[in-house]
């Protein structure tokens, strides 16, 4: 990054200590910290234009509505969607995927098939399980290749058939860091007449997400993983599919007309946005996109990959540390275990005592853990505000733990 100190100054949390040690925040895959200007946008909206959107004629309501719809247009531009009407606001990636699983799958027939992969987050597994149970569908999972880092695309080609209706997969593994060939997989789905849903939660802050270049039918992501507010997410859906799908939830905002016996639905995107949205968080998402665009996704990606290479090269020189995920071009995620006597939880606690925040456990990816033959791993992940000194301190902390464990 051109001025890492200026970037870090925008994130007050990075100035705090954990015990006697300065915080080194390496839990960015779970959630990123939020820059001051995004928090200021939340505060400004609460203080000056907190009024419900779309239904009020007074000034505050109109201002709040304008801010929310400006965000919708900003998201459209950020992911290169054809229209703002194809941008559905949700509470996060999980709700976005649940929306598609509940609504689109209601159009399917018993015996139809859904294909996912073993490297999915639970939020891209469980909704399809529920839909399969509800509608008599078959759920299939693409295995890993022999390298235990990438998907077996030959197996995927063999799984997609005439009964395949949906192929749902992650753009980037939240454990392995693997960047999947999105367009290739989408093309495989389309060749069989299936639709493709891409979980972009781990991609949205680390690479350009272009839904038209991907030719994806659905794309889901969360604001809190892209330096934005919590509780806000996005579903992009191809218009012709969204038009066919029934509402996901009922209530205010998503209706055109209501009688006691029946109702008719609002036009897109409001058909899928029942109730009062988090219009405060959505206004701040616009500021988040402006921050990301100004900082530069490519500059962020280059910086993260530099940190990844620096830390990984040092760790590879340390006996007793097992790394998981070495696909070429992977995202800046390091998942590992240390020796037979130390659990991921123990390592995480020791690192926390040194001021280093990492994530431990199965990372909502238990099927992947079964394939890897472990119950959990330690995961460190880099972001725009991490520094070379922090990467070196992380490696140094691992060396200290190795000595403690006598590895």
- Measured between its terminal Cα atoms, the distance across the chain in Å is 35
**Contact, 375 vs 369, CB < 8 A?**
yes
Both tokens assigned to 230: 């919590």
Both tokens assigned to 40: 């200021």
Q: How far is CA 301 from CA 92, 252, 349, in A?
A: 23, 41, 29
Q: Determine the Cα angle at 41 with ends 35 and 46, to 5°.
A: 135
CA–CA dist 61, 230 (Å, integer): 22
**Contact, 173 vs 119, CB < 8 A?**
yes
CA 373 distance to own-chain centroid: 25
| In 201-324, beta strands by DSSP E | 218-222, 233-237, 255-258, 263-265, 321-324
**What burial class does residue 93 get, using C-beta atoms within 10 Å of its C-beta: 0-12 exposed, 13-18 middle, 19+ buried?**
buried
Please, what is the angle between helix 388-405 and helix 344-353, to 10°? Answer: 120
Burial code (b: 16+ CB inside 10 Å, e: under 16) for 229-238 equals bebbbbbbbb
Catalytic status, residue 364:
yes
Kindly name the residue from 42, 84, 148, 364 that is annotated as catalytic: 364
Q: How far is CA 41 from CA 59, 64, 189, 218, 290, in A?
A: 18, 12, 40, 29, 12
| DSSP conformational letter for 122 | G
Catalytic positions, please?
A: 364
């Amino acid at each position: 990054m051109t001025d890492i100190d200026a970037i870090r100054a925008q994130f007050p949390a990075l100035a705090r200590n954990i015990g006697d040690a300065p915080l080194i925040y390496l839990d960015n895959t779970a959630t990123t910290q939020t820059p001051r200007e995004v928090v200021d946008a939340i505060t400004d909206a609460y203080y000056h234009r907190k009024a419900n959107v779309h239904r009020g004629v007074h000034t505050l309501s109109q201002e709040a509505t304008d801010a929310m719809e400006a965000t919708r247009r900003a998201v459209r531009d950020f992911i290169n969607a054809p229209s703002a009407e194809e941008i559905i606001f949700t509470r996060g990636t999980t709700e976005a995927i649940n929306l598609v699983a509940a609504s689109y799958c209601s159009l399917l027939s018993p015996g139809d098939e859904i294909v996912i992969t073993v490297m999915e987050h639970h939020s891209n597994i469980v909704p399809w399980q529920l839909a399969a149970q509800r509608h008599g569908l078959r759920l299939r999972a693409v295995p890993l290749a022999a390298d235990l880092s990438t998907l077996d695309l030959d197996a995927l080609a063999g799984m997609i058939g005439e009964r395949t209706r949906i192929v749902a997969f992650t753009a980037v593994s939240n454990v392995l860091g693997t960047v999947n060939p999105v367009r290739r997989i989408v093309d495989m789905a389309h060749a069989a007449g299936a639709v493709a849903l891409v979980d972009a939660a781990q991609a949205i802050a680390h690479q350009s997400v272009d839904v038209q270049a991907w030719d994806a039918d659905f794309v889901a992501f969360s604001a809190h993983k892209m330096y934005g507010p919590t509780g806000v997410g996005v579903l992009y859906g191809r218009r012709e599919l969204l038009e066919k799908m029934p509402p996901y939830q009922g209530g205010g905002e998503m209706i055109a007309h209501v009688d006691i016996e029946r109702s008719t639905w609002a036009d897109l995107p409001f058909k899928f946005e029942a109730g009062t949205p988090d219009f405060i968080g959505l206004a701040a998402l616009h500021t988040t996109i402006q921050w990301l665009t100004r900082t530069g996704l490519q500059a962020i990606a280059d910086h993260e990959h530099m940190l990844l290479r620096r830390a990984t090269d040092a760790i590879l020189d340390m006996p007793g540390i097992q790394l998981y995920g070495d696909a070429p071009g992977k995202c800046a995620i390091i998942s590992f275990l240390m020796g037979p006597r130390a659990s991921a939880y123990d390592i995480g606690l020791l690192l926390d005592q040194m001021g280093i925040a990492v994530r431990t456990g199965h990372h909502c990816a238990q099927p992947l853990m079964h394939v890897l033959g472990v119950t959990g791993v330690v995961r460190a992940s880099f972001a725009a505000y991490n520094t070379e000194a922090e990467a070196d301190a992380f490696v140094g902390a691992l060396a200290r733990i190795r000595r403690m464990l006598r590895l």
